[in-house]
Amino acid sequence: MRRKRNSSVYDTAGTITDSEAEFALEQAEILVRKIEACIIL
């Protein structure tokens, strides 16, 4: 994901597909929920 983000920011726009962006967002949301669970404990 980091390589794709780097390419999309510094190279050509549109190098990340909608499905890749959605997947990245889903993964980020999962990570946030896991972090929140650790903080609450």
Domain residue limits, the chain: 2-8+16-40
CA–CA separation, 40 and 6 (whole Å)? 33
Per-residue pLDDT of 1-41, as tens digits, reads 677 666 666 666 667 788 888 998 999 999 999 999 999 86
Q: What is the pTM of this model?
A: 0.62
pLDDT at 18: 86
**Phi, psi (deg, nearest 5) at residue 34:** -65, -40
Q: How many CB atoms within 10 Å of residue 15? A: 14
Cα–Cα distances in angstroms (integers) from residue 25 to residues 1, 3, 9, 29, in the given order = 11, 16, 17, 6
